């Protein structure tokens, strides 16, 4: 394949990866070698060269963030828009497949997805259904339940179904009955006595039965866990060959990023889907395989070569991140994991050549691989080991070193520094020292949402509404930052409560009896009491989400954090709101009381709440994080701390319940597996550094004995520590004006709704699309969404029945044709559309029962009129890749910018050409305004790129009076409009988002928190 614009500025190995044609490809990509560049350019090249359309390529990775970044990069590379780009995580890919085809293997397609905490709660609520003896919890069942769920999860990593486990348990029992005794599960050598064998057989049977019970509970509750997504998708493909063939035909090319992090089941899924063409690209670095604790199979990288001996290997060696001395140190260190490394095994493994020959592939010409990285930057980096007497001095020393570098390196920012810890609890000493020394920092923990102050405030308010006698919760509320009742007043209130043996709330009801409360404090407390009384009335009739938004708005809390420009707290509030909305979607009664019961269950399980963090969007601050979290990131200066024995490397913690050896499908490497994993983790930490790498340690971490240095320091030849100095930090002051204009994180994609918001008020745009402030919904929004969902689902069902009917009529004998014909009469279809309407009704944001009933009635009238017109006119809905063009997601490219949206419907016109239709639930306008036409012109431009033809007719379908308003645009108008869009995007990118108050304020979702509003 010839070179093109996607290979410009790439090195030779990257070019080869991008231009590789058909057949399996293994990209061995070392740290910092531009692996993501190679993969995204390969994906874009496959599309641009015509080898595949966007929907014919599947690209999978491991996190939503990585998938989003890959899609953004491909967006920037492609000169045109596209319809459907399958870039996703393994789990989201499988969820999408099962939502469409789950019924084919007996799964409901409307299943809810449980995370580990959700699974824990399910087991906890049904503990009596587990027949446990060996594993019966004697005390708090929390840890025991986690052990069981972890075990079931590991089974699913290996694609071990409950029936496999039950069969194994039966085999064990049969052997025992026959007098054959083996060894304990997980121990190949340890032979056991008859009595031990009996206990072991009972233990295995109990586990198999528990696994079966757990899986049955999931299905009874219309739920799947994350392991199920992979396994059921694999089951679907293996048991339903027609469906497998459909997706094999669709996905001409498959790309897997971070292949070393796949587990056995994920790799089996990809192998199954890739055959028989095997146009499979796997990008991997076995030296960065550090997720074995969550099921990743280190051996998959080597297994790839065994499964595809004809594969091409491309090794990316040119490093664009680190200096050569840092790379040399890391490479020499990781050699200690030989022979269990890809480089060693591919170069030495004679068995591999024998296996390949058996498959008809000659490996005699196989070129040996070399993973030693070469730096593009030939300068020498800083590498130091700093040793201290105590942990406190170690933290001081790190702070001092950062200050020293900041003062000497004029180009360095605080965000150029990372402090990497082996575990989250090791971070405390460092961020406390940074606070003391006033060094800006950001602790990027993956857990801890529920312990964030702003979230604790909200949870405390919920507790207070749920139970007036929750005095600790009410005491926290007295200290809300925007109320700020003095501590001495709160102390007097508590003293009075204790004296009278009553709750704090009861004392607030008789506040006049408490001496020493000022008038100002009494007013603040009165406001809080009234708020609690008013919101208590909502508990029975409103959802927890309604109460959440009522508290934020009525209390002034949301207005307070917005005014403070506290982006972090706004982000935390948004994350918690997502949690609440997820609860509402999965709960038949989403009340505040039920939510608090679920929260208490989560807290009992040890769940602290997931935290979302985007390091690139954070403030200029030193980043403190675990090494696992740092994977894929890079920093100018890296500190790897607490390098002492038993902290890094850690002591191996075996799985509480191990999978029996005979059920394990993964080939486990020899040697100390845990130590090898810890070495890879240390290698990952070292290769994050660009210019400076600092190892730190101390003698005293609070124990009775002096700590030994980490063995890893010895392995990199830092046996004699250099004494590090602690002390106070002296930072040069930041020059006035150095901060410059505040920058905003503009969304990577644009949409018509974004343009409309910006036109109305730039501050509204900021609230909605940058800060993503939660806002109260409306009845119009819920109703509109209900109608759109109903029309899409009804039309999909109708068209599927129509096609099925045509096939059956074609196959049927003449005398059977009347019998085979489906009922497409208006009365029957009316029943069906009303059933779909009922199933899709969104019961949210209606002011009262009367309003809800009125909308419900209006919806039935709209659907009846729609159906009557649809059956009369019989419009021909356009099909694309075998699917009707209903609610088509699109990505439109204008200049270097991507606009995303959804087209409700595309019809084929009788005389040729296509019509783009957008549903509106209101009544038709006499004349379409300019902004109305602009929305449809975006859809028209998207249609040009998707269908390779310009939609001739652009229509709004006003459903309330069943009226269509259509227009056509000229090429000149479209050209002018494109320029207007580019100008608008430029304005958004350069805006300071100042408010433009006016008449529109009365309709703004954020009027309650905006200080500039005009009402």
Can you give the pLDDT at residue 728? 60
Can you give the pLDDT at residue 192? 64
Per-residue model confidence as pLDDT tens digits over 660-690: 888 888 766 677 888 999 999 999 999 999 9
Q: Is the pLDDT of residue 356 over 70?
A: no
Who wins on pLDDT, 698 or 881?
A: 698
The domains of the chain are located at 12-103+229-322, 116-221, 381-446+616-723, 449-612, 779-990
Who wins on pLDDT, 350 or 222?
A: 222
Q: Phi, psi (5° rounding) for residue 924?
A: -70, 155
**Percent of the chain whose predicted confidence (pLDDT) is above 90:** 52
Can you give the pLDDT at residue 734? 42
CB atoms closer than 10 angstroms to residue 201: 19
Can you give the pLDDT at residue 938? 94
Can you give the pLDDT at residue 189? 47
Q: Is 691 exposed, middle or buried (0-12, 13-18, 19+ CB in 10 A)?
A: buried
Q: Helix 64-77 to helix 35-48 angle, to the nearest 10 degrees?
A: 50
Beta strands 382-390 and 722-723, pairing class: parallel
Say which residues have a Cβ less than 8 Å from residue 752's Cβ, sequence separation at least 6. Answer: 899, 901, 934, 935, 938
Can you give the pLDDT at residue 740? 46
CATH code: domain 779-990 is 3.90.320
Can you give the pLDDT at residue 735? 41
Who wins on pLDDT, 356 or 530?
A: 530
Who wins on pLDDT, 1015 or 919?
A: 919
The CATH class, in words, for 381-446+616-723 is: alpha beta
Per-residue model confidence as pLDDT tens digits over 64-84: 888 888 988 888 888 877 777
Q: Is the pLDDT of residue 311 over 50?
A: yes
CATH code: domain 12-103+229-322 is 3.40.50.300
Per-residue model confidence as pLDDT tens digits over 818-874: 544 567 888 999 999 999 999 899 888 888 889 999 999 999 999 999 999 999 999
The pair of three-digit structure tokens given for residue 420, joined into one six-digit string: 């990497």
What distance in Å separates the CA atoms of residue 795 and residue 782, rounded to the nearest whole number?
20
Q: Average pLDDT of 805-826?
A: 62
Superfamily of domain 449-612: PCRA; domain 4 (1.10.486.10)
The residue among 801, 943, 786 whose CA lies nearest residue 878 is: 943
Q: Is the pLDDT of residue 191 over 80?
A: no
Given this chain, do its domains 12-103+229-322 and 449-612 carry the same CATH topology? no
> What are residue 899's DSSP bridge partners?
750, 892
Query: Is the separation of the CB atoms in 334 and 679 below 8 Å?
Result: yes
271: left (phi over 0), alpha (psi -120 to 50) or beta: alpha
Can you give the pLDDT at residue 11? 92
pLDDT bucket at 744, cuts 50 / 70 / 90: confident
Q: Average pLDDT of 397-411?
A: 92
- Helix, strand, coil fractions of the chain, as percent rounded to 5: 50, 15, 35
Per-residue model confidence as pLDDT tens digits over 600-649: 988 888 888 888 877 766 678 999 999 999 998 999 999 999 999 999 99
Q: Is the pLDDT of residue 439 over 70?
A: yes
Who wins on pLDDT, 343 or 795?
A: 795
Query: Is the separation of the CB atoms in 17 and 38 below 8 Å?
Result: yes
Give me the chain's average pLDDT, please: 87
The residue among 947, 933, 995, 962 whose CA lies nearest residue 871 is: 962
Residue 649 is given by DSSP the state T
CB atoms closer than 10 angstroms to residue 256: 26
> What are residue 114's DSSP bridge partners?
225
Per-residue model confidence as pLDDT tens digits over 493-531: 888 888 888 888 888 888 888 888 888 889 999 999 999
Q: Average pLDDT of 736-741?
A: 42
Beta strands 883-884 and 879-880, pairing class: antiparallel
Q: How many angstroms separate the Cα of 556 from the Cα of each of 422, 483, 1010?
A: 40, 10, 11
Can you give the pLDDT at residue 875? 95
The residue among 70, 39, 75, 209 whose CA lies nearest residue 133 is: 209
Can you give the pLDDT at residue 771? 87
């Amino acid at each position: 394949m010839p070179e093109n614009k996607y290979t410009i500025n790439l090195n030779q190995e990257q070019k080869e990866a991008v231009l590789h044609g058909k057949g399996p490809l293994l990209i061995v990509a070392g740290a910092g070698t531009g692996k993501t560049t190679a993969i995204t350019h390969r994906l874009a090249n496959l599309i641009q060269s015509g080898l595949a359309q966007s929907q014919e390529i599947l690209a999978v990775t491991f996190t939503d963030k990585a998938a989003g970044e890959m899609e953004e990069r491909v967006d920037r590379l492609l000169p045109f828009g596209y319809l459907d780009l399958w870039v996703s995580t393994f789990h989201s890919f499988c969820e999408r497949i099962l939502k469409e085809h789950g019924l084919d293997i007996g799964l409901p397609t409307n299943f809810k997805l449980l995370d580990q905490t959700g699974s824990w709660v399910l087991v906890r609520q049904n503990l009596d259904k587990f027949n446990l003896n060996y594993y019966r919890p004697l005390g708090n069942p929390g840890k025991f339940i986690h052990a069981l769920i972890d075990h079931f999860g590991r089974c699913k990593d290996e694609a071990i179904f409950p029936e496999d486990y039950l069969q194994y348990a039966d085999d064990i029992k049969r052997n025992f009955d026959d007098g054959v005794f083996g060894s304990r599960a997980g121990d190949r050598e340890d032979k056991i006595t008859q009595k031990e064998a009996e206990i072991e057989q009972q233990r295995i049977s109990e586990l198999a039965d528990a696994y079966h019970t757990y899986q049955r509970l999931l299905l009874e509750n219309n739920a799947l866990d994350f392991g199920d997504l992979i396994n059921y998708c694999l089951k679907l493909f293996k048991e339903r060959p027609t469906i497998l063939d459909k997706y094999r035909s669709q996905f001409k090319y498959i790309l897997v990023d971070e292949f070393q992090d796949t587990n056995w089941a994920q790799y089996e899924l990809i192998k199954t889907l890739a055959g028989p063409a095997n146009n499979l690209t796997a990008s991997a670095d076995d030296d960065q395989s550090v997720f074995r604790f969550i099921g990743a199979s280190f051996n998959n990288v080597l297994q790839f070569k065994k499964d595809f001996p004809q594969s091409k290997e491309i090794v990316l060696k040119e490093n664009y991140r680190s200096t050569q001395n840092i790379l040399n140190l890391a490479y020499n260190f990781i050699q200690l994991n030989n022979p269990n490394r890809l480089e060693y095994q591919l170069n030495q493994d004679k068995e591999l050549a024998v296996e390949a020959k058996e498959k008809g592939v000659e490996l005699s010409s196989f070129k040996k691989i070399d993973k030693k990285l070469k730096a593009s930057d030939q300068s020498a980096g800083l590498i130091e080991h700093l040793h201290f007497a105590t942990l406190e001095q170690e933290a001081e020393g790190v702070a001092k070193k950062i200050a020293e570098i900041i003062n000497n390196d004029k180009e360095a920012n605080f965000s150029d520094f990372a402090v990497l810890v082996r575990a989250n609890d090791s971070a405390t000493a460092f961020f406390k020292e940074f606070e003391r020394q006033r060094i800006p920092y950001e602790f990027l923990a993956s857990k801890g949402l529920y312990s964030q102050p702003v979230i604790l405030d909200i949870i405390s308010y919920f507790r207070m509404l749920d139970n007036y006698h929750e005095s600790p919760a009410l005491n926290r509320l007295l200290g809300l930052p925007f109320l700020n009742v003095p501590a001495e007043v709160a102390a007097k209130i508590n003293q009075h409560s204790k004296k009278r043996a009553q709750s704090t709330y009861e004392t607030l009801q008789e506040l006049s009896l408490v001496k020493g409360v000022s008038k100002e404090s009494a007013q603040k407390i009165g406001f809080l009491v009234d708020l609690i009384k008013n919101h208590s009335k909502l508990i029975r009739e409103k959802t927890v989400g309604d109460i959440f938004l009522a508290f934020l708005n009525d209390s002034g809390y949301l207005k307070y954090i917005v005014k403070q420009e506290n982006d972090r707290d706004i982000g935390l509030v948004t994350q918690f709101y997502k949690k609440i909305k997820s609860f509402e979607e999965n709960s038949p009664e989403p009340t505040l009381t039920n939510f608090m019961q679920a929260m208490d269950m989560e807290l009992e399980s040890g769940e602290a709440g997931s935290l979302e963090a985007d390091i690139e969007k954070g403030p200029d601050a030193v980043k403190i994080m675990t090494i696992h979290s740092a994977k894929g990131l890079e920093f100018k200066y890296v500190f790897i701390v607490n390098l002492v024995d038993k902290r890094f490397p850690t002591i191996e913690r075996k799985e509480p319940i191990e999978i029996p050896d005979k059920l394990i499908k993964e080939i486990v490497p020899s040697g100390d597996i845990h130590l090898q994993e810890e070495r890879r983790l240390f290698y990952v930490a070292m290769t994050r550094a660009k210019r400076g790498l600092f190892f730190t340690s101390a003698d005293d971490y609070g124990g009775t004995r002096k700590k030994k240095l980490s063995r890893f320091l010895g392995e990199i030849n830092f046996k004699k520590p250099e004494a590090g100095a602690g002390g106070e930090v002296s930072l040069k002051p930041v020059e006035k004006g150095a901060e410059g204009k505040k920058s905003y994180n503009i969304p990577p994609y644009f949409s018509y709704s974004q343009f409309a918001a910006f036109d109305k008020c730039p501050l509204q745009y900021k609230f909605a699309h940058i800060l993503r402030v939660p806002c109260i919904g409306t009845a119009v929004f819920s109703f509109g969404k209900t109608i759109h969902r109903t029309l899409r689902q009804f039309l999909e069902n109708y068209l599927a029945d129509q096609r099925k009917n045509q096939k059956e009529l074609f196959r049927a004998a003449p005398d059977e044709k009347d019998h085979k014909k489906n009922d497409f009469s208006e009365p029957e279809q009316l029943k069906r559309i009303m059933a779909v309407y009922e199933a899709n009704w969104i019961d949210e944001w209606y002011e009262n029962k009367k309003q809800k009933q009125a909308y419900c009635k209006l919806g039935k009238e709209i659907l009846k009129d729609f159906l009557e017109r649809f059956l009369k006119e019989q419009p021909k809905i356009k099909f694309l890749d075998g699917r009707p063009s209903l609610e088509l997601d699109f990505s439109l490219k204008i200049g270097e910018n991507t606009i995303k949206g959804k087209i409700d419907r595309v019809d084929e016109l009788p005389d040729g050409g296509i019509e783009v239709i957008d549903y509106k639930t209101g009544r038709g306008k006499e004349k379409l305004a300019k902004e109305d036409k602009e929305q449809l012109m975006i859809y028209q431009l998207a249609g040009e790129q998707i269908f390779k033809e310009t939609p001739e007719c652009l229509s709004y379908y006003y459903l309330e009076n069943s009226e269509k308003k259509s227009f056509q645009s000229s090429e000149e108008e479209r050209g002018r409009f494109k320029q207007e869009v580019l100008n608008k995007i430029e304005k958004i990118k350069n805006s300071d988002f100042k408010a433009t108050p006016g008449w529109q304020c009365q309709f703004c979702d954020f009027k309650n928190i905006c200080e500039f509003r005009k009402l």
